[in-house]
Amino acid sequence: MKLARVVGTVVSTINSPILDDRTLLLCDLVEPSGEASGGYLIAVDTVGAGAGELVLILDEGTSARQIVGETHGPLRTVVVGIVDEVAGPASVAKAKAESSRPKKAVDPASAAAPRTRRSPTARRASAG
């Protein structure tokens, strides 16, 4: 599932029968903090969401068709909920960390050198 903000509707006068009498919403994807994450989806509205609302989107074809009671057809994405609040460390900590974190200066010599990863066994050996 994904979080998104409804930014408008999409009108399609000629479409597949599975979309007849259904509202299509244009939704911008967002992070748990509410900031735009880039990208958008067009989703069938099943909950009566409106512009500006934060919504929960199901973006899995078979599950989406089950929500609207269809077994076949070109339907992949549906709005399944209107979100009142996103709570928890992921929603707040990320936004705070990004806004208060000083920007690191990048040393061109170290940026060009590839980083090596130690195996879990090597990490355990050096920790002991």
pLDDT at 94: 54
Assigned CATH topology for domain 2-92: OB fold (Dihydrolipoamide Acetyltransferase, E2P) (2.40.50)
> What pLDDT, in 10s, does the model give residues 76-111?
999 999 999 998 876 665 555 555 555 555 555 544
Q: In the chain, what are the domain boundaries?
A: 2-92
CA-CA-CA-CA torsion sign (99, 102, 106, 112): negative
Mean pLDDT over all residues of the chain?
81
* Residue 119 CA to its chain's centroid (Å): 32
pLDDT at 107: 52
Count how many residues are written for the chain.
128
For residue 49, give every residue at least 6 positions away whose Cβ sits within 8 Å of its Cβ, in sequence order, or none: 6, 25, 55, 79, 82
Q: Would you say 54 and 5 are in contact if contact means Cβ atoms under 8 Å apart?
A: yes
pLDDT grade for 22, boundaries at 50, 70 and 90? very high
Q: Average pLDDT of 33-52?
A: 95
pLDDT at 118: 46
pLDDT at 126 over 70: no
